[in-house]
Structure 1
Amino acid sequence: MIFEKKTMVINSEKLITDLIGKTKKNIKTAEKFNNLHIEKLNWRFDKNSWSILECFEHLNLYGDFYIPEIQKKIDSSTTKPKENFKSGILGNYFAKSLQPKEELNKMKTFKDKNPIGNELNNHTIERFILQQEQILKLLNKSKKIDLNKIKTAISISNLIKLKIGDTFRVLIYHNERHLIQANNILLKINC
């Protein structure tokens, strides 16, 4: 794996505002899926592909890890906000690799985050929406801390830490990515 030695510098308030906007959009997208019949939500193109609900459950599994981790770090922080956020090399790499692109590249998921075969229903989407509302609260709380100094563990290893600003980016871009995947599934169903 080759990491570009590039980081991103952005006004902290602008970053949080952007991520709040993306999260609100993710909630609206999820609400649209909540109106679909359970058969459509569980439809798969083939036995190895995910259904719409499996996309949501995958995101819920990540939310189960990141939301408490972020909450704990924000609640224990005594830092003051800084004007600018400078991403870390690794955090920027992860965020950029998850950022939605016109043509989504396939990525392997970890076994414990693979929802395939789980029995799922509309509560899966409702759970996702609740998690997004928690993320909005955390983003608002993060306006009072230094996004550069606070670091969180990541789901694949407690040894790797990302700046909390990068953690938010990774989590929210990941959500956007799989909502696009869910929309693509819906397009296949409606063809």
Structure 2
Amino acid sequence: MKISTTELLNELQDRTQKHLQYAQTLLQRPENELNFRISADSWSSLECLEHLNRYGDFYIPEINQRISSSKTSSKAVFRSGILGNYFANSMMPKDKLNKMKTLRTMNPIHSQLNKNVVDEFIKQQKQLLELLERAQHIDLEKTKTGISISKLITLKLGDTFRFVIYHNARHIAQVEGILKNV
């Protein structure tokens, strides 16, 4: 994938802003609705957001550290890496969400959760927006980040942003589907 760096960052900021706004609407809902699950082994809305918060707990400090230590200048065009593009595209929401296994540490099923989860998600979306703003001044290809599943694999920062934000979009779509059944 080849895209203007400005276009990519604008698209990711728009998506993140929408996620933030949607999360703010969730604060208006009663907690029992946010804890509703369609079946015994499915996630509730709060569990979806808790899952995203756990990923945010890894990726936000990782991205922040890599941006802070980057000595590169931004380039006009971003070229995605093969692996990064695959990971990012696999996270994109589809009409029928394909189920994926998650790491045990990232699986919040049957956790006792309250609206603090939504507050944390909102905070993380604001942090992502700040990081996207800071990323406009560095090379999204040469700046690399670690990933949550292996210390041996790194992705281009642009692909990491895409992965994290598309992953958020995937689970926001899941939350919307759950809440239609409440």
**TM category, shorter:** over 0.9
CA distance in 2, matches of 1:162, 1:92: 9
CA distance in 1, matches of 2:171, 2:163: 12
1:183 paired with 2:172, answer: no
Shift of 1:100: 1.2
Tell me the SS of whatever aligns to 1:188: coil
Tell me the SS of whatever aligns to 1:121: coil
CA distance in 1, matches of 2:93, 2:155: 20
Stretches of structure 2 that go unaligned for 5 or more consecutive residues are none
Q: Which TM-score applies when normalising by structure 1?
A: 0.94
CA distance in 1, matches of 2:75, 2:170: 29
> Which of 117, 128, 151 in structure 2 is aligned with 1:158?
151
1:174 paired with 2:167, answer: yes
Q: Deviations over 1:24-82 (max 9, x none)?
A: 00011111111110111111122210000000000000000000000000000110001
Q: How much identity, in percent, do the aligned residues show? A: 52
CA distance in 1, matches of 2:27, 2:117: 9
For these two proteins, the number of residue pairs brought into alignment is 182
User: What are the within-5 Å matches in structure 2 for residues 31-46 of structure 1?
Assistant: 31-46=24-39
Which moved further from structure 2: 31-40 or 169-178?
A: 31-40
> Which of 56, 71, 79 in structure 1 is aligned with 2:72?
79
CA distance in 2, matches of 1:121, 1:32: 15
1:141 paired with 2:141, answer: no
Question: What does residue 120 of structure 2 align with?
Answer: 127
Tell me the SS of whatever aligns to 1:107: coil
> Which of 47, 51, 60 in structure 1 is aligned with 2:44?
51
CA distance in 2, matches of 1:131, 1:176: 14
Question: What does residue 4 of structure 1 align with?
Answer: none
1:10 paired with 2:3, answer: yes
Q: Which TM-score applies when normalising by structure 2?
A: 0.99
> Which of 7, 13, 16 in structure 2 is aligned with 1:20?
13
Shift of 1:91: 0.2
CA RMSD of aligned residues (A): 0.6
Which stretches of structure 1, 4 residues or longer, exceed 6 Å deviation after superposition? none
Stretches of structure 1 that go unaligned for 5 or more consecutive residues are 1-7
